[in-house]
Amino acid sequence: MNGAWPTGLLLSLLVGVMPSWGADDPRVENLALCRDSWLDWKTTDPAKLNSFAAYFRSAFTHNGNDAFAVPNAPTTIGPLKVTRVFPDSVGMGVGFSVQVDATFDVSRKAVEQLLGKPLGQCEASDGMRTCGLPVAAQRTLVVMSGDAPNDKTTLVGCYYLYEK
């Protein structure tokens, strides 16, 4: 009986922690970092696209006409906390992106560490800071935010038909 109490406590702790283990799904990170492409899935693997769509509907909440959905549980891209997901487009870009709760500089560094290479094509204009990395034909990884000190959040995404 003495061994039951520590085992029960351990199980209780694990059950309490498990939802946070399951909250992060590599599919979101892979799409945001251009490792995967829903545009490619449309033609090469419709079953994978349908599977992701089912996952997305269960893991994120979309309200009305909002262009974004919010995670139902804590979600991250590496160390970056995801606050919104844009599954189709943002402005002139068609793709998949996430808004993270981090400044541009913090987000850029985290994305570069996740990729294992630096981002290039960096610009600052019109109150925005951006860095991009062409990954494949019709795929550009973009990190963008407002100028400091107002850059409290950053957009990280993979754009398929990106126009500046």
User: Does 141 map to a domain?
Assistant: yes
Reference 77, options 131, 118, 34, 120; nearest CA is 34
Residue 146, beta-bridge partner list = 128
Q: Read off the amino acid at residue 98.
A: V
> 84-121: per-residue pLDDT in tens?
999 987 666 789 999 999 999 999 999 999 999 999 88
Look up the pTM and report it: 0.80
User: Does 95 map to a domain?
Assistant: yes
Q: How confident is the model at residue 24 (pLDDT cuts 50, 70, 90)?
A: low
Backbone φ and ψ for 11, nearest 5 degrees, come out as -60, -40
Q: What is the pLDDT of residue 12?
A: 33
Q: How confident is the model at residue 39 (pLDDT cuts 50, 70, 90)?
A: confident
Q: Which residues constitute the domain of residue 138?
A: 25-159
Q: How confident is the model at residue 47 (pLDDT cuts 50, 70, 90)?
A: very high
CA dihedral sign of residues 110, 150, 143, 93? positive
Q: What is the pLDDT of residue 11?
A: 29
User: Does 4 map to a domain?
Assistant: no
Could you give the number of structural domains in the chain? 1
